[in-house]
Amino acid sequence: MLSLNKIFSRLKRNTSRSQNSNAEPLIVPRSQHTISRSQISPAALKVLYGLKDAGYEAYLVGGCVRDLLLGHEPKDFDVATNASPEQVNQLFKRSRLIGRRFKLVHVRYGREVIEVATFRAPPEAEQHVDQQGRIVRDNVFGTLEQDAWRRDFTINALYYNIRDFSIIDYTGGIADLDAGKIRLIGDVETRYREDPVRMLRAIRFIGKLGLLLDDETERLIPQLANLLSDIPAARLFDESLKLYLSGNAAVTHELLCHYGLFDCLFPQTAEILHTEQDGYPRTLLIKALENTDLRIDEGKPVTPAFLFAAILWEPVRQKWQENKARNIPAIPALQQAATEVISEQVKRVAIPKRFTLVSRDIWVLQPRLEQRFGKKAFRSLAHPKFRAGYDFLLLRSETGEPLTELADWWTQFQIAAEDEQQTMVKALASTGGGKHKPRRRRRRKPAAKSE
Ligand code: ATP
Ligand code: MG
């Protein structure tokens, strides 16, 4: 089977394509590319054949075609068709219409969901674009060619045709894949203004695919990064998860900082990172992200709550110190800091409460883990989020906070037998550890009766 390089050398066609050229698409026949039906999920094949047999056009499109050509396993399979959403919905029993801005159909086979989209026309009509140039309505159906030009990057606009198994390329995606380039389709500024989230997607694809940005696609990001502040916080939450749970979070994070995009997502943390570039806040965050990447690589579960706890730790920690300096006791001081930082953060990235509640637990466990006298250590150990709190303590200790002794104590305590645990707690009294000694209750003398 031919490699991408060979496909490209065989098909020496124009590499820089423009929408106005009305050029015929590059069509790579089955014999000259590597995608075989055995790599496509049975569910996606059923949808493609179902549409084809009903007389419609049907293509695999987007990330799945790109990933298969690069030799990666696709995360999911998306289908594009000339059938309307209603027609698709009628054709497949287990399907439903979804979406507000874009109408799509989800077809379900077992656990798998195949997203089927009708070809879309470009958002040319003025009423579809707001003052910033952002697309507000985009549900006009179009042709395959129009659908290709309205996609984001050339490498995401390749279509696998179920009729003859060829790949159709209107925008130069094959050439860009071959050159390892992520190139925005069309005029870069217009396309970023239409949908600023494309800047985040560009960065995600560098991390995920190891490709580089085309010069113009790269150049405008720092200038336009601010446009992200107009994007709904719920959408930025979805994108943040994709960015940070991609398995390449450490690299992706550095890129987001480099291009000024992190500032728009997590402004409180970004401000601190700007002033303390090589200090503890950055070290802790990168280490947390490296751990996350490792866990994903090993197929272990990762919780977004831990990730957000790490990203927001430094603003929380600094506010916590300020509150303590105002004589607020440690735990309420931390709770107050957490509330302030979270309520500011969710204005930008709408982290759902089910995650922020756990992030808070992780933070509040930090001072609690210092208090080990009496029953306190046993209570912390029984806390439902103990493991995450302990992992967070380790992270802090490994990245420069003077907590090694405490972290080692907990490492030992949680695996010790109960009588050993009791001994460990008692030993704290003699070493002076354990933060506060249990206060002895003084017996009050009965007040002398006045005569
Ligand atoms: P992933 O591997 O992360 O799923 P993907 O490219 O498939 O990458 P999706 O979000 O699943 O990303 O989108 C599917 C396709 O829809 C993209 O490949 C692209 O063609 C198109 N698309 C997605 N988001 C946009 C956007 N903001 N603007 C234009 N086209 C987009
Ligand atoms: Mg996809």
DSSP string of 233-244, one letter each residue: HHHHHHHHHHHH
Tokens of 307: 């990730």
| Displacement of CA 371 from its chain's centroid (Å) | 35
Pairing of strands 104-109, 95-98: antiparallel
Q: Answer yes or no: do 59 and 196 share one domain.
A: yes
Question: What pLDDT, on a 0 to 100 scale, did the predictor assign at position 133?
Answer: 64
Q: Answer yes or no: do 223 and 365 share one domain.
A: no
Q: State pLDDT tens for residues 307-331.
A: 999 999 999 999 999 999 999 999 9
The pTM of this model reads 0.88
Closest CA to 116 of 127, 128, 108: 108
Instruction: Give the Cα separation of 125 and 119 in Å (integer).
Output: 17
Which residues have any ligand 1 atom within 6 Å of their CB?
62-63, 75, 78, 151-152, 156-157, 195, 197-198
Question: What pLDDT, on a 0 to 100 scale, did the predictor assign at position 437?
Answer: 52
* Domain presence at residue 10: yes
Instruction: Give the Cα separation of 92 and 162 in Å (integer).
Output: 17
Q: Answer yes or no: do 104 and 195 share one domain.
A: yes
Please tell me the distance between residue 5's alpha carbon and the centre of ligand 1 in angstroms: 24
Cα dist from 156 to 81, 124, 307, 413, whole Å: 16, 21, 29, 52
* Domain presence at residue 370: yes
Q: Answer yes or no: do 366 and 223 share one domain.
A: no
Three-class SS of residue 116? strand
Q: Answer yes or no: do 76 and 214 share one domain.
A: yes
Question: Diameter of the chain by CA atoms?
Answer: 113
Residues with CB under 5 A from ligand 2 (ion): 63
Q: Provide the number of structural domains found in the chain.
A: 2
Please tell me the distance between residue 306's alpha carbon and the centre of ligand 1 in angstroms: 27
Instruction: Give the Cα separation of 297 and 317 in Å (integer).
Output: 30
The enclosing domain of 82 has a CATH number of: 3.30.460.10
Q: State pLDDT tens for residues 226-270.
A: 999 999 999 999 999 999 999 999 999 999 999 999 999 999 999
Cα dist from 21 to 12, 14, 24, 125, 157, whole Å: 17, 11, 9, 21, 17
Q: Answer yes or no: do 218 and 303 share one domain.
A: no
Q: State pLDDT tens for residues 274-291.
A: 987 668 888 899 999 999
Cα dist from 407 to 377, 396, 401, whole Å: 13, 9, 11
For 3, residues 6+ apart whose C-beta sits below 8 A from its C-beta are 34
* Domain presence at residue 269: no
| Displacement of CA 26 from its chain's centroid (Å) | 33
Q: Answer yes or no: do 325 and 190 share one domain.
A: no
* Domain presence at residue 393: yes
Task: Determine whether 152 is an active site residue.
Answer: yes
Mutual angle of helices 418-431 and 404-413, in 10-degree steps: 160
Please tell me the distance between residue 191's alpha carbon and the centre of ligand 2 in angstroms: 19
Question: What pLDDT, on a 0 to 100 scale, did the predictor assign at position 211?
Answer: 95
For 368, residues 6+ apart whose C-beta sits below 8 A from its C-beta are 331, 376, 380, 383, 389
Which listed residue (67, 152, 169, 361) is catalytic?
Answer: 152
* C-alpha angle 219-224-226 in degrees, rounded to nearest 5: 140
105-134: burial string, b at 16+ Cβ within 10 Å, e else? bbbebeeebbbbbbbbbbbeeeebbeeebb
Question: What pLDDT, on a 0 to 100 scale, did the predictor assign at position 135?
Answer: 59
For 142, residues 6+ apart whose C-beta sits below 8 A from its C-beta are 119, 120, 121, 122, 150
Tell which one of 60, 73, 78, 169 to mutate to probe ligand 1, the residue whose CB is within 8 A of the most ligand atoms: 78
For 56, residues 6+ apart whose C-beta sits below 8 A from its C-beta are 81, 82, 83, 87
Final residue belonging to a domain, choices 231, 255, 270: 231
Tokens of 34: 């590597």
94 near 103, Cβ under 8 Å?
Answer: no
For 159, residues 6+ apart whose C-beta sits below 8 A from its C-beta are 59, 60, 61, 65, 80, 144, 148, 167, 168, 169
Instruction: Give the Cα separation of 103 and 447 in Å (integer).
Output: 79
The enclosing domain of 403 has a CATH number of: 1.10.3090.10
Closest CA to 107 of 97, 120, 121: 97
Q: For the chain, which residues score pLDDT lower than 50?
A: 1-4, 6-16, 21, 125-127, 438, 448-451
* Domain presence at residue 249: no
* Domain presence at residue 139: yes
* Domain presence at residue 369: yes
229: number of Cβ within 10 Å: 14
The ligand minimizing its distance to the Cα of 202 is: 1
* C-alpha angle 30-32-36 in degrees, rounded to nearest 5: 45
Q: State pLDDT tens for residues 383-425.
A: 999 999 999 999 999 998 999 999 999 999 999 999 999 999 9
Question: What pLDDT, on a 0 to 100 scale, did the predictor assign at position 289?
Answer: 97
Q: Which domain holds residue 384?
A: 282-431
In this structure, the residue with its CA closest to atom 6 of ligand 1 is 63
Cα dist from 104 to 83, 221, 229, 262, 342, whole Å: 11, 29, 27, 31, 34
